[in-house]
Amino acid sequence: MNTAKGARARARTEITAAIKDAARRQLAAEGAAKLSLRAVARELGMVSSALYRYFPSRDDLLTALIIDAYDSLGEAAEAAKAAGAAEAAHGAVAGAEPLERWTAVCEAVRGWALAHPHEYALIYGSPVPGYTAPETTVPSAARVGLLLIGITRDAHEREALTAPPLPADLCEEAERMRADLAPDLPPEVVAALVAAWAQLFGLVGFEVFGQFHRVVEDRAPFFRHAAVRLAHGVGLRS
């Protein structure tokens, strides 16, 4: 009984994974807008109606791919943060640690995006027409942001961070963001952090989507320096 149940569940997860793999291939070839259950089924030698046992609609398959992509990126970023922490523990100045973790996370985001451009486009590119992501994607989508908040919080605990003062018309919103995201950080730092988060993906997106073509050639050092300067803007010092 257990074995039967286990085998059934195993088969189900295997087929689910195969479906998502085929869908990711279609994503790369045709784009998210043209993702069709039929094409996925054809590639797997199944019939389209069989897919509905695993994903009730095309949008649900899309949602699963989006969550997987956010999680894959989040895992890469979290692994880089942990590795950066370990690296910093080995040597050097203790105060440099948060900045090293920050840049490690940024470079992990870039590396993941360059390795998975189509999944990057799925989550940070143009919205898919006719599709709106459900709330279930939010926890996965938040992972990189939470990571950056955590690094900033660690740095703030060691040594109080500062950022330039806010204009009057931004104070209320900054307080609101602070209450939502990081009550233990100063509002200017929270505002700077959210901006840095968006700007990080601006740098990554420009590289992945080809806007740096014939503008920036040696991109790794360019990106690293920009990531360090993003950290400085949040108050992290070297």
Partner DNA sequence: GTCTATAACGAGATAGAC
Partner DNA sequence: GTCTATCTCGTTATAGAC
The nearest distance, CB 48 to DNA, in angstroms, is: 4
The nearest distance, CB 25 to DNA, in angstroms, is: 13
What Cα–Cα distance (Å) separates residue 115 from each residue in 11, 17, 44, 59? 29, 20, 24, 25
Query: Per rule CB under 8 A, is residue 233 in the interface with a second copy?
Result: yes
Query: Per rule CB under 7 A, is residue 17 in the interface with DNA?
Result: no
Query: Per rule CB under 8 A, is residue 169 in the interface with a second copy?
Result: yes
The nearest distance, CB 120 to a second copy, in angstroms, is: 9
Cα 50 from Cα 232, distance rounded (Å): 53
Binds 46: which of DNA, a second copy, none (CB < 5-8 Å by kind): DNA
Selection from 63, 100, 73 nearest residue 85 by Cα: 100
The nearest distance, CB 22 to DNA, in angstroms, is: 12
User: What does the per-residue mask of binding to DNA show for 38-77, with x meaning CB under 7 A?
Assistant: xx--x---xxxxx-xxx-xxxx------------------
Tokens of 74: 């989040």
- Please tell me the total number of residues recorded for the chain in this structure: 238
Assess contact for 225 and 100: CB atoms under 8 A: no
Q: Which long-range contacts (CB under 8 A, 24 or more apart) does 142-147 make?
A: 143/70, 143/71, 143/73, 143/74, 143/77, 143/78, 144/73, 144/74, 144/77, 144/105, 144/109, 144/197, 145/181, 145/197, 147/74, 147/77, 147/78, 147/81, 147/105
Binds 50: which of DNA, a second copy, none (CB < 5-8 Å by kind): DNA
At position 167, the amino acid (one-letter code) is: P
CB-wise, 153 or 209, nearer to a second copy? 209
The nearest distance, CB 53 to DNA, in angstroms, is: 4
Give residues in contact with a second copy (CB under 8 A).
29-34, 121-122, 124-130, 138, 141, 145, 164, 166-167, 169-170, 172-173, 176-177, 180-181, 191-192, 194-195, 198-203, 205-206, 209-212, 214-218, 221-222, 224-226, 229-230, 232-233
